[in-house]
Amino acid sequence: MTALDKYRKLEGLGLWSARVEDQRREVVVNFGDATLVISDSRSMQVLSHWSLPAVRRRNPRERPALYSPDGDGAEVLELDDDWLIEALEVVQAALAPPRRWRDRLGGKVYAAFAVAALVGVAVLFPPALERHTATVLPWTTRHEIGSALVADLQAQGAQLCTASQGRAALDALQRQVLEQPARVHVLQDTPAARVTGLPGGVFVIDARLLDMADSPEALAGALVLAQARLRMGDPVAPVLGHIGVLRTLGLLTSGTVPTEALSGYAGPFMRADAPLPDVAQLLSRFQALDLSARAFADNPEALDPDVGPLLPDLRKGDPLAGAAPSRALLSDGQWVSLQNICVF
């Protein structure tokens, strides 16, 4: 049994902040695969991953103990749990390279060997690197990637629609339809008339759909379809393939999203044929939302260019059997406001 195996199930409370000057929040700290995992104590949402060998104590022999990732003094973790402090010291010692080698080679030479080894692994095993990076990326980083892709669409000529009343109606719709957290944008002049799901709960509605949809319920069906597609695979995986091995390695080690490397990804992704989710799972989601699938399937104009093969099954399996839903998703006034969200 290794030191990491011994403490893998150990967890405790601490205080964490993303920046030194921020107020610290209560978090749960536990050990991952050579990482220190920091999660919100209430929601258990992962806030940060630290590489265990890179964790540095800021105040040796003082209590409470303060830690930060090596080379980044912004994040601070405060621990006052004797078990956690001792476990962190033991695991770090076990993961550290032999002292004699480091002394013999010298710090700079050792660092060069370490970087060369990482680069070698990254070049030889890019799929494994991408899979590992995708599994450890926190939701905040995924959301940052999704938002950066929206910004890239704007840089390519798409226009973000922001009329305030339309924005309020859009928020009201997405809160009822999408699993949260989510952020939905309406853009004009995107490459495809569909709803596209991006990493981090970010969705893009092509503005043409607001004219094509007969009702909020029809548009809601397009949102349901987009979210179902996201569940078919990890949406961040093809993004990592686009940015390449070295930038993926940089994202893994630093947590910084290489926004310039994302340029040119969103457009072709939206134009490509989109996969079709399992119709039974899709209908199950319509049923859970008390939403008619026929409103989407029977819309005079298809609200997705690839959905055609699914439409007969959606009509046949409509959980409401064509009946009206128990409540409207939006009032008439809200629907009109949403349809005019692009009126500047």
The pLDDT mean for the chain works out to 86
Cβ(198)–Cβ(150) below 8 Å: yes
pLDDT at 74: 76
Tell whether the model's pLDDT for residue 163 goes beyond 50: yes
CA 23 centroid distance within chain: 25
pLDDT at 112: 67
| Tokens describing residue 301 | 């104009």
Question: Residue range 141-170: average pLDDT?
Answer: 94
| E strand or H helix at 48 | strand 46-51
* Four-way CATH pick for 3-96: 3.40.50.12780, 2.30.29.30, 3.30.450.40, 1.20.1050.10: 2.30.29.30
Q: What is the CA radius of gyration of the chain?
A: 24
Tokens 């480091």 correspond to: 102
Q: Classify burial at 58, counting beta carbons within 10 Å of its beta carbon; exposed 0-12, middle 13-18, buried 19 or more.
A: middle
Tell whether the model's pLDDT for residue 33 goes beyond 90: no
Tell whether the model's pLDDT for residue 285 goes beyond 80: yes
Tell whether the model's pLDDT for residue 7 goes beyond 90: no
Every domain of the chain and the residues it spans: 3-96, 100-136, 138-339
pLDDT at 1: 47
Tell whether the model's pLDDT for residue 173 goes beyond 50: yes
Report which DSSP code applies to 196: E
pLDDT at 128: 80
Write the pLDDT tens digit of every residue in 216-265.
999 999 999 999 999 999 999 999 999 888 888 888 888 888 889 999 99
For 66, list phi and psi in degrees, rounded to 5: -115, 135
pLDDT at 137: 86
Tell whether the model's pLDDT for residue 113 goes beyond 80: no
Give percent of the chain with pLDDT exceeding 70.
87
pLDDT at 313: 96
Q: List, in sequence order, every residue forming a beta bridge with 38; answer none if it has no partner.
A: 29, 48
For 69, list phi and psi in degrees, rounded to 5: -70, 145
Tell whether the model's pLDDT for residue 48 goes beyond 60: yes
Report which DSSP code applies to 303: S
Cβ(187)–Cβ(198) below 8 Å: no
Any idea which of 28-37, 50-59, 103-112, 286-295 has the lowest mean pLDDT?
Answer: 103-112
pLDDT at 123: 56
Question: Residue range 69-77: average pLDDT?
Answer: 76
By residue count, the chain amounts to 344
Range with the largest mean pLDDT of 7-16, 62-71, 265-274: 265-274
pLDDT at 344: 66
Give percent of the chain with pLDDT exceeding 90.
50
pLDDT at 59: 87
Task: Evaluate if pTM is beyond 0.75.
Answer: no
pLDDT at 55: 85
Any idea which of 12-16, 195-199, 202-206, 294-298 has the lowest mean pLDDT?
Answer: 12-16
pLDDT at 308: 95
**CA neighbor of 71 nearest in space, from 58, 54, 59:** 54
C-alpha to C-alpha distance for 59 and 224, rounded to whole angstroms = 50
